[in-house]
Amino acid sequence: MAKRVRNVGQPVEEDSSLSDLFAPKGYRARVSDELESLHAEFLKYRLPEEVRASEVAYEAIQGVRTCGFCARDLSPKEPAYLGAKIYVGMWPLSWDYGRKPQIGKPLYEDTVLCSSCAPEWLSPERDDVVMQLCAHCERPMVSPLDLFALRRTFCSDRCKEAYREELREEKKAEERKKVCEVCGEEFTASRRDAKTCSDRCKQKAYRQRTKEVKQTR
């Protein structure tokens, strides 16, 4: 960047005309605003088929209940093919500050596919493809053999959250396991402060406490 020095020992000042380039309302900001407006205008002309294809691909990978290409419902134990991208249309306008804007760039989405729509390179018979079971729903997951696949435990975020919820409920149930102070039997309490396993034992405990109070008087 160009600099201007008045005298030796004085601070260096930036050329105001160049510093405006990076100001909030400078050239770069104005160009970005124009590109955003142009992109919003281009989006109005996206084909309905492209919009639908993108929605199908997104919905499939979120819940792993449908194929992201043909939109067919997957049966509960039907294999889900992961790790593939499908073409969903053209992105009207894309840009960053390191390259020139691109118009009509092909757009690909990560999704889940059924066996009929999965590519040949995702066949379970291949040595570089692995099949695992989801830790929650036990749906077979077919994906390329890589570090990410080996770390994958669930077929979807939905199953991950459901699994965590089950663990929380099991922990709560474990915390509610108690021993009745009257009969000595183990029981699962519906309340944290419960001390007896049944109404019968609760009545016995009440009578015992009443008796003890009378004896202390």
Domain membership flag for residue 109: no
pTM: 0.62
> What pLDDT is recorded for position 65?
93
Domain membership flag for residue 213: yes
CA neighbor of 139 nearest in space, from 74, 84, 85: 74
CA neighbor of 141 nearest in space, from 126, 130, 125: 130
> What pLDDT is recorded for position 7?
41
Domain membership flag for residue 167: no
Domain membership flag for residue 85: no
Domain membership flag for residue 194: yes
Angle at 51 between CA 116 and CA 64, to 5 degrees: 40
Domain membership flag for residue 20: yes
Domain count, the chain: 2
Domain assignment of residue 210, given as a range: 176-217
Q: Which residues pair with 105 in a beta bridge?
A: 91
Q: What is the mean pLDDT of each run of 10 residues along the chain (217 residues)?
A: 42 47 62 75 81 92 93 95 91 71 83 95 93 94 88 90 91 82 85 83 85 68
How far, rounded to the nearest angstrom, does the alpha carbon of residue 75 sit from its chain's CA centroid?
A: 22
Q: What is the DSSP letter of 64?
A: S
- 198 torsion bin: left (phi>0), alpha (psi -120 to 50), beta (else): beta
> What pLDDT is recorded for position 217?
60
Q: In the block, which residue shows the tokens 């008796």?
A: 211
Domain membership flag for residue 8: yes
